[in-house]
Chains A and B, each alone.
Chain A
Amino acid sequence: MVLDQLKGQLIVVEGADGSGRSTQIDLLRNWLERRGYPTVNVGLRRSMLVSRELEQAMQGNILGTRTLSLFYATDFTDQLENRMIPALRSGFVVLADRYIYTLMARAIVRGVEPAWIRDVYSIALVPDAVFYLAVSPKILVERNLRKHAVLDYWESGMDMRRSSNMYASFIEYQRQIQKEFQAMQQHYGFETINGNRSPRAVQKELRANIEVILNGKSGLIEDRSNDSNSTQRIARSTTTLADRGEGYQSRVSGQPAARYRATHRFP
């Protein structure tokens, strides 16, 4: 299987709870489908394989950080292999409500070695575009409280026990996550969108960016090598799923091979 056979586009929207992520994805979906593009939605904890078990583990808060990271990686990979890749192969637009970047940021702020978590996710596909909705922690609090009247335990980083004050913990945790996103941007070169603005303004900017991708799609992803700070994105046409291993042939009938290396490499 060759990656340039993946004709569709993988578009990722990242951001905290309250960043407007889901609203924006809904709007994008309507917009795309009206224009005749079939879409598939994926997100965290939505795999057939482990979503329920992961949910239970989260509620009990019984797993260690590394275990939870690997559990999430399992959930992600199940969706990657069984939903994203088949959809991309059929030419769908895959809208990812969060991707590996949130998972990496969460793990890193909890003390996991950045190199390790990047290695774990080196199997992930490089998206055609990643939009990070940056919203100031104070506005995030407002939006979350207005919607739910309560702050989420995990989104407040309460498991890290930095503060017993949930408000303070939320602000501090979201700051740390944003710092990680800024650091990752250097490597992965994704678009940061100012999410403090109205949904309409954000949507307009997203559509303008995606428009370019839809028009310019030729199997190659924009080469950003002229920007020395960002990773040179890998052209899909040069990357194969099956032929990268060191002489090992997977004989799995009807299943994707177990290698997506060179898809999300670091320099």
Chain B
Amino acid sequence: MTGKPHESSITGKLVAVEGLDGSGKSTQVYLLKRWLELDGYKVFFTEWNSSAIVRKATRKGKKRQLLTPTTFSLIHSTDFADRYERQILPLLNAGYIVLADRYIFTAFARDSVRGCDRGWIRKLYSFARKPDVTFYFDVPLKTALARILDGRTRVKYHEAGMDMGYSKDPHESFRIFQGKIYSEYRHLVHEYDFTKIDATEPPDIQQAKVREILETKIDLPRYRWQGPVYPQQNR
């Protein structure tokens, strides 16, 4: 059930994107997905914190501020495990390219900042397969902050790290919290050998680079749909 014994038989590829809020990673992974699906590849996209079953509990916990750093960490790992067991792993076994908008590294960064023990967090997620490629969208903290704080008037409570008590001002709290996450990411880049993308460049330039790198790392033709696709998709 762990997936480990089958590791060698896994034919799919796992591609993760990581980066600060405001790094533009979601846009980039969306474009990557569009490219792959329009060109007829077996591709699946999964997002952090999106398991239907667990999300209800997460939402309640966040809304009513019931979460401590440890339960925050555990409930997100539950969400991840659900997506991992029911989708990510079976799809990898079925030979898909799985694109993950945030992966276990997001938990490593956020939960460490919240004060969870680093070793414990890594053990919690030790069942998860390491990605074949992890794109890290590297952007100066200032730029990321500006993209979020200029674009939206309100940042969510936990996004801003308001549970940490840094500041009563959500924007100030967000700045401090993101700064700490940023420094966690800088360690993770080396620890897990992320592929850095300069996220200050225009989006189309970034996307071209991402596609180019992916082509060198993955033998793409192996992941094409064979034969006619049923049901016919609108292209």
Residues of A within 8 A of B (CB): 48-50, 53-54, 56-57, 62-67, 69-71, 73-74, 77-78, 81-82, 110-113, 116, 119-120, 122-123, 244-246, 248-253, 255-261
Contact = CB atoms under 8 A, between A and B. Distances in A.
Interface stretch (B10-18, B28-36, B69-77, B202-210): B69-77
A63 B53 contact: yes
The residue among B53, B70, B81, B111 with the most chain A CB atoms within 10 A of its own CB is: B70
Contacts of B115: 245, 248-252, 257-259
Contacts, number: 135
Contacts of A120: 123-124
Interface SS majority for chain B: helix
Q: How extensive is the interface on chain B, given as a class?
A: 35 or more
B69 A258 contact: yes
Contact of A67 (B73, B81, B114, B163): B81
Interface string B82-123: 101110000000000000000000000001101111111001
Contacts of A63: 53, 82, 85
A253 B85 contact: no
Contact of A53 (B53, B77, B116): B53
B120 A78 contact: no
Interface stretch (B54-62, B138-146, B224-232): B54-62
For the complex of A and B, 7 pairs with smallest distance between CB atoms: A250-B115, A64-B85, A258-B69, A53-B57, A119-B123, A70-B78, A74-B74
B74 A77 contact: yes
A112 B69 contact: no
B124 A119 contact: yes
11 contacts: A53-B57, A57-B53, A64-B82, A67-B85, A73-B74, A120-B123, A123-B70, A246-B117, A257-B115, A258-B70, A259-B116
